Amino acid sequence: MLSVLTIGSQPDSAEAAVASNFDSGYIISDETMYSSREMTAAEIDAFLDAKGTSCRASGSIACVKDVLISYPAQAASAYCTGMSASSNATAGQMVAAVAVACGINPQVLLVLIEKEQSLVTRSTPTSYAYRYATGFACPDTSGCNDEKAGFFVQVYSAAKQFQIYAAKPESFNHVAGRYNSILYNPNSGCGASSVFIRNQATASLYNYTPYQPNAAALANLYGTGDNCSSYGNRNFWRIFSDWFGNPSNLLDNGSFENNTASWQFRGTLDRQVIQTATADAGASAMRLRANTAGDSLQQSVNRTVLPGESYDGSMAVRTISAGSTAKIRVAVWGLGGSAENSVSALTVGNSWTDVETSLLVERSGHTQVRIEVYVDTPGVLVEVDDARVVRSPRQELRAAVPMSSPSFEEGNGGWAPGNGFINWVFYDGGAPGGGSKYLASNTTVTNRSVAQTVAWDVRSSGSYTARVWLRSANGQPFRGVFALWALGGKAESASTPFTVTGEWTQVSVTLPVTADDNRRLKAEIYLVSTGITLYMDNASIQPNLTTNGSFESGAPPWTTGQSGTNLVTYPSGSGQYIPVDGTRIGATNVTQSGGSIRVDTARLLRTGEQYTASLWVRSAAVGRSGGVTLALWALGGDAPLNASTSATVGDRWTQLTVKLPVTVEAASTLRLELYQATPGFTILVDGAELY
């Protein structure tokens, strides 16, 4: 059995920085950036003492480990809570107070003053280093603003600015969730590259220091690169990694520099941490030999896990003996509640190979994320290194909300009278959209309803679209209202009035989610007409990725694609037009063929996915028709990708649908676009959906 070799941790390193671990699109996680209580004032002071052992006061200028700071009270704002005045505070006390007030990790502030002025480790303090400690209001194109000078002012202003970036992301040049052109150097002649910024904390770093390291800067991680190198964000990441661990990796000791700390073993797994010049990352690697297939190495991270988040896990693996191979599985788990996982399997040989998997969280209630590497070939020596788990920000889930008996095939299932007694019965035969059964209901009291409530983790982003097929039993016009509710906290709802006759008609309603504390969705059909029977079938609730798909908030974020294209919105009371969804509609025309309207949705796309988009369209004028094309684009990746469908539409609402398989890497935007072929012809639009 292999012995366990104990290796002492490097005295100045929590996780030695390795250039290959630097990800320009994910420098620091949101959790790390905004964890404001990572260190107490006493812990910060002890850290400064340890890092500043070689520092000696320069005349009246004290080392940061010894400095005492007085600062005035700070009023509460939208970005920081109020702070009391302080006299003779230590640097640790000041940094800790600012961190808590502005919700920023004190480690971030310590790294910031080090990368800007080397204030933590310098041996000789200077007044300039204190005056511009965090480089706040010190643009590359001009000198520093003296109004923002001073140790406290610099630290407080930087912390507050990071919260401003997060509160107003669209107001700054670098935005999370999309590709951004990022320069390598203040000299624009050094070029730039397109970087997909995966989270707000990384976007904030680029807004603070708007350059990325080039290959030369990364090749000499602790030194200088070439004339086009910049070092700010490289140094931030490197210093943070050296002092506190990789700021973008949720795992501790992912490269085994601190022996087996934070790792657990399952089964009869021989293991040994070795120091080797051929480690994939850092100076150490973990050597394993399974005695039973499926023995594993794992690390669990306690955290609140939300549906729609992605956790990307990877582990570098290789075999030791020449010519040997081993079967390896790497899994990322969501644990606590109803567990789920994603697993990738690979046969590896003597070369370091990254085994990667990505868990898209679809269930709520997880309290842990775990990465686990299984060795499925007993008796073969393998080495593992450079373990990572990186979180991608939450995106709206695309899976339909699970309703009980949505088409009444199992009877009433989760359906119930929602607003007093109603008559109902289930019929068999002639149902639309699959299945055979449907519900018949009537009432003698107006506004009675049929409803179903579904437990669902509703968050303040995106929207949900509910659909149901309806018709009048005897052909007489039946009036009602279809509503979708978010319940459990600050309740909110949206509704669509409808009138149906003897033909099955799909009615929809879209609810933009603004509150973040609701945990239930409720679809409800109100019966306004009395004495007439309404047939109902094939209900669904689907997350809708498009913002303002029914123009309830006016035109934005819809835009026109070409000059000479017009777009306006109208309420339902305008003329003869009845919306398909909600209470408003859009209207558009063009002065030349090929003009378009479009709406973009930022989303990190994965190859192999398929997206569906639909839009209701009709002619504004009775008796007229014209040609239109609905396209769905995937943009921002290796190459633009699109699918489209064309039709001639008349004066009845027609739903156009297009499906787009994603076959390109790194696409970050979905664009729904409607093109018109007939100049001077007004098209009405409503009920855009993307899922």
Q: Is the dihedral of CA 13, 14, 19, 22 positive or negative?
A: negative
pLDDT in tens, 134-191: 999 888 777 888 889 999 999 999 999 999 999 999 899 999 888 899 999 999 999 9
pLDDT in tens, 641-683: 999 999 999 999 999 999 999 988 778 889 999 999 999 899 9
| Peptide bond connecting 213 to the previous residue in cis, omega within 30 degrees of 0 | no
The mean per-residue pLDDT over the stretch 243-271 comes to 88
Q: What is the pLDDT of residue 7?
A: 24
pLDDT in tens, 266-276: 998 999 999 88
pLDDT in tens, 364-419: 778 999 999 999 999 999 999 989 898 876 777 777 889 999 999 998 999 999 88
Q: What is the pLDDT of residue 607?
A: 82
Residue 449 tokens, joined: 């309803």
pLDDT in tens, 104-144: 999 999 999 999 999 999 999 999 999 999 999 888 777 88
Q: What is the pLDDT of residue 300?
A: 95
The mean per-residue pLDDT over the stretch 10-37 comes to 76
Q: What is the pLDDT of residue 8?
A: 26
Average pLDDT, the chain: 90
User: What's the CATH fold of domain 264-392?
Assistant: Jelly Rolls (2.60.120)
pLDDT in tens, 522-553: 999 999 999 999 999 999 999 898 889 999 88
Confidence of residue 90 (pLDDT cuts 50, 70, 90): very high
Residue 281 has pLDDT above 80, yes or no: no
Helices 41-51 & 91-102, crossing angle to 10 degrees? Answer: 130
Residue 285 has pLDDT above 70, yes or no: yes
User: What's the CATH fold of domain 415-543?
Assistant: Jelly Rolls (2.60.120)
The DSSP result for 440-460, as a single string, is: EEE-SSTTEEEEEEEE----S
Residue 54 has pLDDT above 70, yes or no: yes
Residue 575 has pLDDT above 60, yes or no: no
Q: What is the pLDDT of residue 10?
A: 33
Q: What is the pLDDT of residue 67?
A: 96
The closest of 231, 291, 294, 300 to 263, measured between CA atoms, is: 300
Considering the chain, what percentage of its residues have pLDDT values greater than 90? Answer: 68
Q: What is the pLDDT of residue 198?
A: 83
pLDDT in tens, 459-471: 766 689 999 999 9
Residue 187 tokens, joined: 């000299």
The mean per-residue pLDDT over the stretch 49-72 comes to 95
Q: What is the pLDDT of residue 15?
A: 54
Q: What is the pLDDT of residue 574?
A: 55
pLDDT in tens, 207-240: 999 999 999 999 999 999 999 999 999 999 999 9
Residue 16: CB partners within 8 Å, gap ≥ 6?
10, 241, 242, 255, 257, 282, 283
The CATH 2.60.120.260 domain(s) of the chain lie at 264-392, 415-543, 559-690
Residue 573 has pLDDT above 80, yes or no: no
Q: What is the pLDDT of residue 433?
A: 63
CATH superfamily, with its number, for domain 559-690: Galactose-binding domain-like (2.60.120.260)
Confidence of residue 576 (pLDDT cuts 50, 70, 90): low
Confidence of residue 606 (pLDDT cuts 50, 70, 90): confident
pLDDT in tens, 8-18: 223 344 556 77
How far is CA 641 from each of CA 628, 629, 638, 664, rounded to the nearest angstrom?
A: 19, 16, 9, 7
Q: What is the pLDDT of residue 319?
A: 97
Q: What is the pLDDT of residue 581?
A: 85
The DSSP result for 238-283, as a single string, is: HHHHHHH--TT-SSSSTT-TTTTTT-EEESSEEEEEEE-TT-SSTT
Other residues' Cβ atoms within 10 Å of the Cβ of residue 193 = 13
Q: Tell me if 58 sits within 8 A of 126, measured CB to CB.
A: yes
Q: What is the pLDDT of residue 11?
A: 31
